[in-house]
Amino acid sequence: MSGFTRNQLIHGGDYNPEQWLDSPEILEQDIAFFKKAKINEVSLGIFSWAMLEPEEGKFDFGWMEDIVNRLYENGINVIMATPSGARPKWLADKYPEVLRVAPDRRRNLFGGRHNHCYSSPVYREKVGIINRKLAERFGSYPGVLGWHISNEIGGECHCDYCQDAFRGWLRERYGTIEELNRAWATTFWSHRYQSFEQIESPSPIGECDLHGLKLDWRRFVTDQTVDFVKVEVQALRDGGSALPITTNMMYFYGGLNYHKFAEVIDTASWDNYPLWHKQPEPETAAEVAVYYDIMRGICRKPFLLMESCPSSTNWQSVSKLKKPGMLLAASLQAVAHGSDSVQYFQMRQSRGANEKFHGAVIDHYGGEDTRVFREVTQVGEALEILSELTGSGVKAQAAVIYDWESRWAMEDAQGPRNKGLYYHEAVTKIHKGFRRIGLNVDMPDMEQDLEGYAVVAVPMGYMFRKGFGEKLKKYVEQGGYLILTYWSGIVDDTDLCFLGGTPHELMDVCGVRSAEIDGLYDWETNSGAAVPGNSLGMTGEYRCRNLCDLVQLRGAEEVLRYGSDFYAGQPALTAHSYGKGMAYYVCADFEEDFYNDLCRKVSEAAGVKSLWVNLPEGVELSTRQDEKAEYLFIQNFNPSAVEWDEVPEQWQQIYGEVSEKLPGFGTKVYKRAL
Amino acid sequence: MSGFTRNQLIHGGDYNPEQWLDSPEILEQDIAFFKKAKINEVSLGIFSWAMLEPEEGKFDFGWMEDIVNRLYENGINVIMATPSGARPKWLADKYPEVLRVAPDRRRNLFGGRHNHCYSSPVYREKVGIINRKLAERFGSYPGVLGWHISNEIGGECHCDYCQDAFRGWLRERYGTIEELNRAWATTFWSHRYQSFEQIESPSPIGECDLHGLKLDWRRFVTDQTVDFVKVEVQALRDGGSALPITTNMMYFYGGLNYHKFAEVIDTASWDNYPLWHKQPEPETAAEVAVYYDIMRGICRKPFLLMESCPSSTNWQSVSKLKKPGMLLAASLQAVAHGSDSVQYFQMRQSRGANEKFHGAVIDHYGGEDTRVFREVTQVGEALEILSELTGSGVKAQAAVIYDWESRWAMEDAQGPRNKGLYYHEAVTKIHKGFRRIGLNVDMPDMEQDLEGYAVVAVPMGYMFRKGFGEKLKKYVEQGGYLILTYWSGIVDDTDLCFLGGTPHELMDVCGVRSAEIDGLYDWETNSGAAVPGNSLGMTGEYRCRNLCDLVQLRGAEEVLRYGSDFYAGQPALTAHSYGKGMAYYVCADFEEDFYNDLCRKVSEAAGVKSLWVNLPEGVELSTRQDEKAEYLFIQNFNPSAVEWDEVPEQWQQIYGEVSEKLPGFGTKVYKRAL
Amino acid sequence: MSGFTRNQLIHGGDYNPEQWLDSPEILEQDIAFFKKAKINEVSLGIFSWAMLEPEEGKFDFGWMEDIVNRLYENGINVIMATPSGARPKWLADKYPEVLRVAPDRRRNLFGGRHNHCYSSPVYREKVGIINRKLAERFGSYPGVLGWHISNEIGGECHCDYCQDAFRGWLRERYGTIEELNRAWATTFWSHRYQSFEQIESPSPIGECDLHGLKLDWRRFVTDQTVDFVKVEVQALRDGGSALPITTNMMYFYGGLNYHKFAEVIDTASWDNYPLWHKQPEPETAAEVAVYYDIMRGICRKPFLLMESCPSSTNWQSVSKLKKPGMLLAASLQAVAHGSDSVQYFQMRQSRGANEKFHGAVIDHYGGEDTRVFREVTQVGEALEILSELTGSGVKAQAAVIYDWESRWAMEDAQGPRNKGLYYHEAVTKIHKGFRRIGLNVDMPDMEQDLEGYAVVAVPMGYMFRKGFGEKLKKYVEQGGYLILTYWSGIVDDTDLCFLGGTPHELMDVCGVRSAEIDGLYDWETNSGAAVPGNSLGMTGEYRCRNLCDLVQLRGAEEVLRYGSDFYAGQPALTAHSYGKGMAYYVCADFEEDFYNDLCRKVSEAAGVKSLWVNLPEGVELSTRQDEKAEYLFIQNFNPSAVEWDEVPEQWQQIYGEVSEKLPGFGTKVYKRAL
């Protein structure tokens, strides 16, 4: 269970009644509309600090209490936010230290959101006070489901407090300055430090070439942010609230290692804003699926879809309307991947400021006779039907490693392609390869366990974090099937290159050594052609781009060979048995078809069983399960219907049109007892 | 009358003799050349402060007096500039406050032009002193026609003086901070102010999301700039000069609401630098025509073309030579649209600094045996022939609303397309639609009167400034024909969204409600197909792009219907009769052909009479008139000749080749008595 | 002789043993590998300051002495660097003045390299101390060949010390402020100075429109940098070292006028990083050839190739592997053009920081069984064979003027095309034209002598530096053949336009006056068609782009005429005999074929003799010679073999495959006695 749910899937979202306090008729209307649309939750207080503490030390919680009560009387629960995401003007004016300092060391003026120093003692104190008071007031309310810490946490600060904290963090990590000098290779360009006091955070007007510094700074930013969240949570606990905690993470945001938040939150939640209809919808669905599987892995249990847009957003370069049916399909995709909620930003459109044209359940027109309102209501109806699967989990046989720290290091390092490494694409292609044969996929990082997975893929595992090489070796030894690609096992934890050959610790496992790596211009391609009679049963030829690894064979079998350039005929895909398992080494950035075939072949070789191995293009299959039952979601992300063979007998349809087709954007849900 | 003219069209331009004081032979040569080219005016002193006041309080006006006298003796008048556009180094060194502060709050160093704070008491004082002295010396000279305030005024300053002035301006506008909080919707993201003292101007390192603040800042910048001009004018009046006032405005500049200058100047003037020959010349001519019609509307009387380039400019990415005949055609286009002058930047090319390669009447070579000199002389000859129409006006039956404030708000708001709203293009397409049937067009803003226009078009009237919706309603009620487009009537004066449906106040007038608006990617199109038998007589199908409004019919007739996407078959153009008039609602950003047909059909319906309804492509027809006569300009902006039916009998040709053709880039002018 | 060589071509490069002091087995391994690869030199100490002076005033040279000794014992020489290219953290922390101030007047933080103020007294003092100590310790070592001053010197500083130095520099140049005002045309925009104290360096937040200021600032930056090098050199001399001096210059770097370094160095050296395999290899070879010929001209004697990459770089957007044979061909191209060395960055890859993936002789793997190591060894073998030509020179019959100062002025001036003047391309096309007929080419700047050249080309000689027009006139008068192009002779030394017609001083020599110049958009072309029977024997038609000069004939013969636009039929190439010589004026930016034909025709007319006038496409011919012998290099930059007629009898092959073909990327070297 997510901890937030009370035996029903949550349907709701961000609500800002403080913008309408002078229009009581609107607040009343809202509740009537919520009930009609089967809204059972709203998230309150996300940017309300100025209304809750209009002057320093003067609190006004009455208006919020009224609303929480009114909602509860109408069967609507509340997720209560802490207001630290934006601060009142008086706070910034009196204590400028709370404002963020940019990498060029210039302090921001008041404005925007995400504009506070998370090290500032004053900011921590002031957030602590209001959080504690909120907890005292609302922390045990029957309708309050839990806490929503701040909002879309992100960014960094370079003020003196942060510099000090960073130095302390480094001292703890490295012990001595000599060890830091070694780890960061500071002898290069005479950048050696004599003491921790000399260290400054990376800056475009200062140090920006020392990868170890930059990588550790990013780690510090995550840790300091987590530390700030701890302060927030402690204040809530001090205020007497024992309710569960979440914070809403962001689609595509790369600035924080979200895995580190698992220690301070009870449930992961996230805000999902894909660009539906920009490309064919199945492509978008496949990309979103990656994010769902990442987010589910943070706390390794059901999560919440904390925000999504009921209509079109307003911050993209072009904001398209969601076509009929898209909202429902997209909302149920969340549930299929393990979400216990469908929540929106926002319940009612604000009249002014920069999100006034962001889609909402209730728009400026203010009527219920809108397409959006009708489609939101359909979602509400679906969630009621599916309510029984609240809290059920997702089991995966395949894992694709997605690691923030390795990505930071890889994208910061200057290497064979500084213009497009396509890490995210590599991850997505392998993820899709497994999903195409109907497998659930987990996306652990390098720190998480690999036990229980039949197949593990490590696309572009550039940095082998401490113990990861060893973990993979053991995984294969004990019978695991490993897919490892080019540009893996190159550097250690602090971005120091491994000596003696790569992929580090896995040359014997994979039976190859990576000798050179070629960067290809955008207009260049090469290919890999199957070696006749290869043990994996690969046939045909696949195009590759961007990066081509030239490997020396050390025992591996050649499965594909390059088709052109001076390395034509050299291995492009290899297979090697090691211990009780197998290791496949992918040398180049191959096209999607390659990964589809590879994942299928390797899964077969690993003895993985899938419910459905011939999914029509654009159809997603996902399962959730608890002790009693398994639930099967079939979703068609094509705009038009596809043929669909009925599911095996033991499955009983519990949602969706009953027919031999899957309608465009249609979803069917089945159940079987366990 | 423009106030500057003395019964002749002005032919002249910017002249900087202070650059040549050490070469008296050049100054003498210049006057001889001017007379040859029928130059009857020069603009003096535009950047002469350092030469007029080489040290603080030491003035040297002698050199200028010599030149003014010499010019006068040779029949050449002077428009005298105030020198505030650039300041001497000593002034900036002694009083750093006169230099501008950027949005990031960093004060500029000395350099460039447009680099002064228009709030600075010192700058106002110093400008006042030199202006008064100039007025005392030259304010009653017989050859001096009037004052040219500063130069191409623009830009903004964020210094403490400006912050204070802005706060005062806001206090006057809103009275209480509560009212400002309401108007700016500051409850959003906790940006509420407790007092006016807390307000800071928008900044990329501070507040940049509050649209109300940004919009009011732009209004303040205009008002404060106008206030600075008032100080300049007052000093001239204090110096005893009663001569008329202008300031030269800029092609394409969007930073100031030029309409607000009407209260401080007598005559509008502007600098016109189109990119002739980049696209087909008729396209450029059509774009320039829009600007002429805007500029004529500022003071609603004849204006001056204060600058134009006799040859190629030097600041564009590619500077093409003007092809033979282009200069003459472009110059007479100004006169056709209501200008009482053709003036150039510059009379003689400077030898150094960053405009040294800008085209000039006399170039570095220094001879009169140049193509440019010959073509300038042709312009002089034409202006002499046309001299009798000096002071005549332009009467228009059609108006297209062009509003700076609405544009600011619209382009700042985050909405359905943040990548290209194409407001300027929408305005131009409608303007061209009317011009194509030979109509003069006025381009008022939302504050100006609509009386007397048979047809009024409001393209993308996003913000309905106070009273504008009501004004349009009354206009239609009383028999006006209104063309209103998508994305109109969305927000009020402070960018707060109207509640209850849009287009605000005009849903009953137009018989529609805008329900949703779809943003289209650049590669997407839709279409509108005519409903058979529609009352407007539209036929065929038109392509649309960028934005598609989905409207609910509330009584209007469907004239076009969308051709594709999920809203295929829904209305794309509607017509509705209201009161004694008609309202047409254009739902999407249609192609040019659509507007050509629409403007023709609606004009016919409105009973508008045009001299010529079948103008050849690329031919412009314009008229000017006074109490005694009407003048008809026919201009061919094609590089090659077009067939041309002679004008009706009562018209007498007074300028141009007599033939049955219009030569390439050719102009004919006719006259009839009234 | 370069001064650095000891009767053998140098083979070596940058080596950073200080990064491996804790791995003595690696240092030992390195030397063994060096000997295997015929490495006879390494460059030491380039970024070693922090290791040489770990605390202020505490020096540790022991580790370096060990290494120098060990290398010497193994027959490996050393080029010793001064460490000023990057400084220790303690220096920046204690003396912030050593850090650079950016144009916006903000001082950098510590970080990167190239980040010091070259005016700072403290920096000069500290560099002086360590240089002197290095000279005392190593300045007379038998294995030390000479000094490598700093590293890839570049950049600028705007601190108060630099401002003062700049003012002093200007005072010396102009004497009086009046003269400076005249030279910079400061009357424009009221920018007149009353004293030198008022002058500030150019800044994006201040003065950025005064071309004279910007041009002089760039000159000052060069002079101040040279002055800093003088300080470095003096310290070495003070330390008792009489060894020769170089500093490594940079491919493509435009910030310094490298010619000014001739007074402080003994031998030019440079770092060559072309993008092999991005375009067809012969194109790249032709571009690199231009740089070789520029660098050879700095000291007018053999130079050193101080850095090149043995494999792929890591700082380009895409880093390709060098294909087999490319390294050898590229290395020998250096020797063919006058280099006495082939040196690499780097000998052993660093484990960390931002060049860790830059190619090296020994990579992270650490074995000698790599393709790169084998190819480096081939280079070593070739250099041994060719050792006898060490110190031989290059004689050229053709010269193409390449002038930094003119380029700075031209690219800063706003003129007919601010988007792409294509100066470098114009230079390259003419250079290629001469190289295609087998000529060596020199590339002097406007200050160098033209004596002895049969043909001199001046592409886009925008600024005629003092005496240059006169020099060209005399050159033609005395029988020289001059090719001058559009946009030449426009401004004087301080960017003031010449009055009275252009090309200044050469209108009579060329028999034309440039009347107007047209900028063409990227999508526009014109053409030049040969006038039948022209004296140069040109035939056919050539395309031109970008800029078209419209000239008035003043005695010249028309050779080509424009094909379109309003200037169709006007001259596009002219010829004019003057004195004993000829002057050709190229009016437009013509395509490569034009220059191939023009250079051939003019060379023939000038009676130039070439060894080989029909070189196959992609083949380079170069010669070096000393008193005793001439050496002929034939290099095929095509990836596949070309037919090749043997060389005349007196030539004896001393290197390369003996066959009737030139293999792909193959080189043959011949010798004949003189």
Predicted local confidence at residue B512, as pLDDT: 98
Evaluate whether A11 touches A39 at the Cβ level (below 8 Å).
yes
Evaluate whether B7 touches B111 at the Cβ level (below 8 Å).
no
In 3D space, the residue among A313, A427, A328 whose CA is nearest the CA of residue A633 turns out to be: A328
Measured CA to CA, the distance from residue B149 to residue B81 in angstroms comes to: 6
Please tell me the distance in Å from C324's CA to the nearest CA on chain B: 43
Contacts of C494 in chain B (CB under 8 A): 352
For chain A, which chains pass the contact test of at least 3 CB pairs under 8 Å? B, C
Interface of C with B in 149-178 (CB under 8 A): none
The verdict on A610 touching B (C-beta cutoff 8 Å) is no
The verdict on B208 touching A (C-beta cutoff 8 Å) is yes
Question: What was the ipTM of the complex prediction?
Answer: 0.95
Pairing assessment for the beta strands A619-625 and A661-662 based on DSSP bridges: unpaired
In 3D space, the residue among B335, B333, B543, B516 whose CA is nearest the CA of residue B429 turns out to be: B543
Please give the C-alpha separations between residue A425 and each of A290, A620, C342, in angstroms, as whole numbers.
11, 19, 41
Residue A67: CB partners within 8 Å, gap ≥ 6? A17, A27, A44
Which residue, chain included where needed, has tokens 């395509």?
Answer: C591
Locate the chain A residue with the closest alpha carbon to C278. A521
**Confidence band of B397 (pLDDT split at 50, 70, 90):** very high
End-to-end CA distance of chain A: 18
Predicted local confidence at residue C2, as pLDDT: 56
DSSP bridge partners of B482:
B456, B583
Q: Which of A179, A189, A193, A493 to mutate to test the interface with C (most CBs of C within 10 A)?
A: A189
Q: What is the mean pLDDT of chain B?
A: 96
pLDDT in tens, A389-434: 999 999 999 999 999 999 999 999 999 999 999 999 999 999 999 9
CB contact under 8 A, C110 and A200: yes
pLDDT at B613 over 80: no
**Coil/strand/helix, residue C671:** strand
Locate the chain C residue with the closest alpha carbon to B53. C190
| Preceding peptide of B204 cis, ω within 30° | no
**Confidence band of B1 (pLDDT split at 50, 70, 90):** very low
Contacts of B373 in chain C (CB under 8 A): none
User: DSSP assignment of A216-277, as one string?
Assistant: HHHHHHHHHHHHHHHHHHHHHHHTT----EE-EEETT--SS-GGGGGGT-SS-EEE----TT
CB contact under 8 A, A500 and C311: no
Name the burial class of residue B142, with classes exposed (0-12), middle (13-18) and buried (19+) by CB atoms within 10 angstroms of its CB: exposed
The count of other CB atoms within 10 Å of the CB of residue A238 is 13
Predicted local confidence at residue B2, as pLDDT: 56
CA atoms within 13 A on the CB side of A431: 25
Measured CA to CA, the distance from residue B227 to residue B221 in angstroms comes to: 10
Q: Which two tokens stand for residue B444?
A: 């008022």
Evaluate whether A293 touches B490 at the Cβ level (below 8 Å).
no
> Which is it for the CA torsion A287, A288, A291, A293, positive or negative?
negative
The count of other CB atoms within 10 Å of the CB of residue C181 is 18
Measured CA to CA, the distance from residue A429 to residue A589 in angstroms comes to: 10
The verdict on A416 touching C (C-beta cutoff 8 Å) is yes
pLDDT in tens, A268-306: 999 999 999 999 999 999 999 999 999 999 999 999 999
In 3D space, the residue among A74, A45, A3, A71 whose CA is nearest the CA of residue A150 turns out to be: A45
Which residue, chain included where needed, has tokens 């989905």?
Answer: B550
**Confidence band of B614 (pLDDT split at 50, 70, 90):** confident
Measured CA to CA, the distance from residue B141 to residue B132 in angstroms comes to: 15
pLDDT in tens, B477-510: 999 999 999 999 999 999 999 999 999 999 999 9
pLDDT at B466 over 90: yes
The count of other CB atoms within 10 Å of the CB of residue A540 is 11
Show the beta-strand stretches assigned E in C82-141.
Answer: none
The verdict on C96 touching B (C-beta cutoff 8 Å) is no
Which residue, chain included where needed, has tokens 């009676």?
Answer: C607
pLDDT in tens, A329-384: 999 999 999 999 999 999 999 999 999 999 999 999 999 999 999 999 999 999 99
Contacts of C51 in chain A (CB under 8 A): 187, 190, 192
Predicted local confidence at residue A1, as pLDDT: 47
Pairing assessment for the beta strands A481-485 and A512-519 based on DSSP bridges: unpaired
Q: Which two tokens stand for residue C576?
A: 């004019």
Locate the chain C residue with the closest alpha carbon to B322. C518
Please give the C-alpha separations between residue A157 and each of A102, A108, A270, in angstroms, as whole numbers.
6, 10, 23
Its pTM stands at 0.96
Name the burial class of residue B382, with classes exposed (0-12), middle (13-18) and buried (19+) by CB atoms within 10 angstroms of its CB: buried
Residue A207 known to be catalytic: no
Residue C152 known to be catalytic: yes
Q: Which residues of chain A have pLDDT under 50?
A: 1
pLDDT in tens, B351-385: 999 999 999 999 999 999 999 999 999 999 999 99
Interface of A with B in 309-368 (CB under 8 A): 311-312, 314-321, 323-324, 349-357, 364-366
Pairing assessment for the beta strands C10-14 and C455-458 based on DSSP bridges: unpaired
Predicted local confidence at residue C502, as pLDDT: 98
Evaluate whether A442 touches A297 at the Cβ level (below 8 Å).
yes
User: DSSP assignment of C270-290, as one string?
Assistant: EE----TTSS-HHHHHHHHHH
Measured CA to CA, the distance from residue A250 to residue C301 in angstroms comes to: 62
Q: Which residues of chain C have pLDDT under 50?
A: 1
CB contact under 8 A, A198 and C90: yes
Locate the chain B residue with the closest alpha carbon to C551. B370
The single residue of A53, A307, A505, A620 carrying the catalytic annotation is: A307
Measured CA to CA, the distance from residue B123 to residue B227 in angstroms comes to: 13
Measured CA to CA, the distance from residue A591 to residue A190 in angstroms comes to: 43
Show the beta-strand stretches assigned E in A494-540.
Answer: 512-519, 526-530
